[in-house]
Structure 1
Amino acid sequence: MASVSLPDMHGIFVLILMVCALILFTRERIALETSSLAILTILLVGFEVYPYYVEGERLHAIEFFKGFGHEALIAVCALMIVGQGLVRTGALEPMGRFLAKAWNVSPSLSLLLTLLISAVFSAFVNNVPIVVLLLPILISIGHRTGKSPSGMLMPMGFATLIGGMSTTIGTSTNLLVVSVANDVGNIHFGMFDFVVPAVIAGGVAILFLWLVAPHILPKRETPLGDFSPRIFEAHLHVEEGGFAEGKTFSDVREKSGNKLQVLEILRDDDKIVRPLPDATLRAGDRLAVRDTPENLKDFEEALGMSLYRDDDSPIDEDNPLRAEGQQIAEVVVTQGSSLQGAVLSDIRFADRYQLVILALHRPGHKTQVLQKDIGNMILRTGDVLLVQGTQEKLAELKKSGHVLVLDATSDLPRTSRAPIATVIMLGVVAAAAFGLMPIAISAVCGILLMLISRCMTWRDAAQALNTRVILIVVASLALGSALLQTGGADFMARLFLAVSAGSSPPFILAGLMLVMAILTNIVSNNAAAVIGTPIAINIAHQLGLPAEPFILAVLFGANLSFVTPMAYKTNLLVMSAGGYEFSDFVRVGLPLAVLLWAVFSFLLPQMYGF
């Protein structure tokens, strides 16, 4: 291996900081936005305290703040906000309804259709709202047909990632790679310049997800899908000579272990008595209670009472408990949700939405059921709440768009402004596709139109923004700029070529893509893309080859976010909703990533003639 001279002290500092960033980005205990801000701050302070000069001119640390105004970041944020308008108006509803009906005709072909539609839409729309739309539909289909949804959810989520590879606006990763390539090497990519290799490789991947993935995925139960501790209202009758006769309500509660929750006490003459601690119970009193069937039967036996339905029919095999008009739904706390980081008792969830919380599931933790401390837990992204309430209340919660409701019993959100939101989104894409204006500008215009047409509010726009995405992009852009300015990118390129000395250009390109694929599944895909792009351009220059295929190697490699659930935010959503294990992503994601890597490694050299 040929010797490669080290860069100067500033270059070494940036390289060490890059390694620290990659390590910090893998630490779950440290918020990704905190790690990003720490890296950015250290970089700024380092270059401010120890000035660096490029060709005699000082590189001011303030230059690294340019990421906040970078075209790529503006485009990413603007597209997230415009996508929020589609979600709020229910503009994607027709697609959901069409797919739901198709599953009744042919499940196998419907899965293929779901994968294709998911991929196509994800080429132009952020894949998060698409996943959010399809998750409840697929879970409902699984429950209705008696089949585990696990064979559908992960393939659908991966299909949206595959579709996002095909255009410059498909993912934030694509936008960053294209923007950095333009900044560093003055290399411009049109919206559909790499759609051909993406479609060919994507077609192979879709076939894998359709024909192979459902068969190698183990059957998983959705976190709360088979766990339905429904709440029922019933009457406990105080029997003559029974334990409760003549006792105070406080005594009866104590006998039940202080678990008995009484709504009201009804006397024979339909008089309502408040369940105060010193209220004395009489024979014939009816205690209106609300609890699970198991708890109600325990109360009946422990207190010597008789359990009746609210129509005073005795509860037995012929007259079971009933909950007319009540429905069970699973509510997922998503990124940007009003529940994220909230404490249920503080936001008064039950009073606000008129829904009873039955259980809480947190990936990797035991499901907690009807425990008082649920109300004191801080909710995280991916938490699943099992709630019960009327169809109307569940519909209101779903239409609010603040959470992901995993059921299909109430209508999908849709307003009269859905067509307007659709036209605005099509206009944003068309303006950029035909070269009328950059995507950053057309997307900002789309935000204004969404607000003017009242497709969304400023609050909706604010909730669409993700501080994690913003800070990781800014920190990555700052690191990428510092690598380029100090010669760190050139050093990394020379080191990569030295390691692969004697290898053919196609082999070097495949190796670069493999490194990006590994990084994107361990750290942020955006960080891998921004850092890898200038290195790719330097490799191409030193080989005397066109830079475009090496840039695309970075772009496609950084999009192979299939192997770990933390590699992409939709992976986490799918993991929570489908009850998947980490190993499930490796089982399907690893062969999928290897398959796409092999296809791209063959296609790119062929298309660019080397």
Structure 2
Amino acid sequence: MDFPALPDTHGIAVLALIVVALFLFSRDRIPLESSSLGILCLLLVGFELFPYQAEGHILHAGDFFDGFGHEALIAVCALMIAGQGLVRTGALEPLGRSLSRAWSVSPLLSLLLTLLISAILSAFVNNVPIVVLLLPILISVSIRTGKSSSGILLPVGLATVVGGMATTIGTSTNLLVVSVAADLGMRKLSMFDFFLPAAMAGGIAILYLWLIAPRMLPKRQAPMEDVSPRLFSGHLSIPEDSKAVGMSLAEVIEKTDGRLQVREIRREPGLTIIPLPDLALRAGDQLGVQDSPQNLKEFEEILGAQLYSRNAPVPADSPLVSEDQQIAEIVVTQGSPLLGTTLARRHFSTLYQLTALALHRAGQSNTALGEDIKDIRLRLGDVLLVQGPREKIATLKSGGELLVLDATEDLPHSHRAPMALAIMVGIVALPAFGIVPIAVSALAGVMLMLATACLRWRDAVRALSTPVIMIVVSSLALGQALLQTGGADYLARLFVTVAADAPPAIALSGLMLVMAILTNIVSNNAAAVIGTPVAISIANQLGLPAEPYVLAVLFGANMSYATPMAYKTNLLVMNAGGYSFSDFMRVGIPMLIIVWLSLSWLLPQMYGL
């Protein structure tokens, strides 16, 4: 087997940089935006110091800035903002209520209906709003029925990923592949050009998610499935014989090893004193406290005090309850005001009147109360377990600013929801009928949402994802460098040499499998943008149409089923459902094989390979 000659020095350097980039993109400890910026800087500095000339054209560093104004990036950003408008207004709330009612009639058929609706919606709307809509409903269903949510959440989350590969606007990956392929001379695919093979393979995947996947998942305990309050609010009354009489508040707190947190001190009827450290305690004082029942009982014994609830003493043998308190989960999603900040900086407890009990993060043990939760920088997919008055949680949930999961099925809704939904329909319909490109309709739709107050500017800014923007720009720059320096042609010739004796259909299937494996390890956008010029080069080497090979890259880059970090909705579902990494592999790998084999047969049949 004669392997092709290596490209020139610039080509080898670009190939090496791509290897470095894929490695960095797979590292959880390094923010994706930081890796992308670093790769972009290396590319810019390298070509500025060592200019590259090809076919009479000098490739300057400034050429790699084109990604910031690329049509695909504009469309991706505009669609992210428009999706946030659906979330903020609760435009999909009627659909959520209908699904919730269906679950009470027939859970098995309702699961199928939920999977189908999730997949269909995700073909036209970013799947993050779909998951945000469904998580509260499905959590509420599992709590009311007493069944574990583990057999529901992951299949529904994966259904949205399957649906996203059906149209050009289903995912940012699709938009990028279609745009890059058009830049390289292939005809621009319209919205439904690959809907048929995606729908057929997706239908098989939906049946798998409905009948088989729930039975493969072990029962997991999601935090929300225990809805009893973790903290108890009450008063520690100081009698005359208490050890605390005459002591300063600071001394009393020291006796409890600094664990006692006093919110207020009631001294006389109608008199409330600010709990200053040097305040001397008197007999009859009542210390307003909130803590776990175990801690409060311990403080009662240490101080020789009496614990009261609603002005009545709590008997020693009586379990503590807090009637007005409720437990809920807050999921950190794209566009959340908590993303990228800490609870302390956000003044969370003061602003929302809620107490953070624990933090659940993928791949890490839970961080519990007292372990400085307030100082942890929150990431996409983090789940905060919070407690507070029912009315505060209800207000927060109805506001739509945060994704709140509690034991109710109430969904945020506003009178602007029909307007937001109508605008979104227009965004999808105009490019579907070939009237305007998706970048134009999406940008116009965002303007309309802002003009009609379906969105505020701060919501629009939060909806933009810095990691997505940077990975798209850096990937486009790498793809351009790979093409211009001959790296794409080298990889294509290498692929054709390895698959020399294989039929074209097998070569297509192999390319799709490589992309599927890659997308579960690194960013799917990076895999798609780098793979598209290689796919076109492979088709040219084989003397075949480029379209089926480009679709192999598109479909392969969408098979983000096998790992939680492969797609952002996977992280949301993982944390909310209490899943482990192995759960995704257990369900996702067979699903990847099913979809890959289905498309490996369908695409050659459709294109006569």
Equivalent residues of 1:264, 1:272 under 8 A apart: yes
**Cα gap change, 1:275 to 1:477, in 2 (>3 Å):** closer
Equivalent residues of 2:85, 2:449 under 8 A apart: yes
Residues 519-551 of structure 1, C-alpha deviation per residue, up to 9 Å, x if partnerless? 111111111111111111121122222221111
1:350 is matched with which residue? 349
1:483 is matched with which residue? 482
Residues 303-330 of structure 1, C-alpha deviation per residue, up to 9 Å, x if partnerless? 333333223254366x654423322111
What is the alpha-carbon distance in structure 1 between the residues aligned to residue 305 and residue 369 of structure 2? 23
TM-score of the two chains, using structure 1 as the length reference:
0.95
**Cα gap change, 1:537 to 1:230, in 2 (>3 Å):** same
Residues 228-275 of structure 1, C-alpha deviation per residue, up to 9 Å, x if partnerless? 553222233334545445655455433333333334444576655655
What is the alpha-carbon distance in structure 2 between the residues aligned to residue 296 and residue 63 of structure 1? 65
What is the 5 A alignment of 1:152-191?
152-191=152-191
Q: Size of the alignment, in residue pairs?
A: 609
2:393 is matched with which residue? 394
**Cα gap change, 1:433 to 1:289, in 2 (>3 Å):** same
- Structure 1 residue 57, shift from structure 2 partner: 2.6
What is the alpha-carbon distance in structure 1 between the residues aligned to residue 8 and residue 560 of structure 2? 34
1:441 is matched with which residue? 440
SS at match of 1:456: coil
- Structure 1 residue 355, shift from structure 2 partner: 1.2
Equivalent residues of 1:25, 1:523 under 8 A apart: yes
Amino acid across the alignment from 1:132: V
What is the alpha-carbon distance in structure 2 between the residues aligned to residue 274 and residue 426 of structure 1? 55
TM-score of the two chains, using structure 2 as the length reference:
0.95
Amino acid across the alignment from 1:324: E
SS at match of 1:104: helix
What is the alpha-carbon distance in structure 2 between the residues aligned to residue 255 and residue 552 of structure 1? 68
What is the 5 A alignment of 1:182-331?
182-223=182-223, 225-226=225-226, 228=228, 230-239=230-239, 241-244=241-244, 249-266=249-266, 272=272, 275-276=275-276, 281=281, 284-315=284-315, 320-331=319-330
SS at match of 1:77: helix
Amino acid across the alignment from 1:11: G
2:508 is matched with which residue? 509
Residues 196-223 of structure 1, C-alpha deviation per residue, up to 9 Å, x if partnerless? 1111100000000011111111111114
**Cα gap change, 1:259 to 1:549, in 2 (>3 Å):** same
1:6 is matched with which residue? 6
1:609 is matched with which residue? 608
Residue range with higher mean Cα deviation, 289-298 or 427-436: 289-298
2:473 is matched with which residue? 474
Question: Which ranges in structure 2 are unaligned for 5 or more consecutive residues?
Answer: none
Equivalent residues of 2:235, 2:287 under 8 A apart: yes
SS at match of 1:185: coil
2:21 is matched with which residue? 21
**Cα gap change, 1:471 to 1:280, in 2 (>3 Å):** closer
**Cα gap change, 1:462 to 1:238, in 2 (>3 Å):** closer
Amino acid across the alignment from 2:530: I
Amino acid across the alignment from 1:48: E
2:50 paired with 1:56? no
Residue range with higher mean Cα deviation, 184-193 or 256-265: 256-265
- RMSD over aligned Cα, in angstroms? 2.1
Equivalent residues of 2:234, 2:290 under 8 A apart: yes
Amino acid across the alignment from 2:32: L
SS at match of 1:58: strand
Residues 15-52 of structure 1, C-alpha deviation per residue, up to 9 Å, x if partnerless? 12211211121122222112112222222222222222
SS at match of 1:389: strand
Residues 486-506 of structure 1, C-alpha deviation per residue, up to 9 Å, x if partnerless? 221111111001011111111
What is the alpha-carbon distance in structure 2 between the residues aligned to residue 10 and residue 291 of structure 1? 63
Question: Which ranges in structure 1 are unaligned for 5 or more consecutive residues?
Answer: none
Equivalent residues of 2:562, 2:589 under 8 A apart: yes
Equivalent residues of 2:227, 2:327 under 8 A apart: no
Residue range with higher mean Cα deviation, 291-300 or 265-274: 265-274
2:103 paired with 1:65? no
What is the 5 A alignment of 1:416-565?
416-565=415-564
- Structure 1 residue 276, shift from structure 2 partner: 5.0
Equivalent residues of 2:228, 2:326 under 8 A apart: no
- Structure 1 residue 353, shift from structure 2 partner: 0.9
Identity of aligned residues (%): 64
**Cα gap change, 1:446 to 1:300, in 2 (>3 Å):** same
**Cα gap change, 1:423 to 1:276, in 2 (>3 Å):** closer
What is the alpha-carbon distance in structure 2 between the residues aligned to residue 481 and residue 346 of structure 1? 41
SS at match of 1:522: coil
1:336 is matched with which residue? 335
1:148 is matched with which residue? 148
SS at match of 2:307: strand
What is the alpha-carbon distance in structure 2 between the residues aligned to residue 408 and residue 228 of structure 1? 10
Residues 472-521 of structure 1, C-alpha deviation per residue, up to 9 Å, x if partnerless? 11111111112222221111111001011111111111000011001111
**Cα gap change, 1:553 to 1:259, in 2 (>3 Å):** same
Residue range with higher mean Cα deviation, 323-332 or 274-283: 274-283
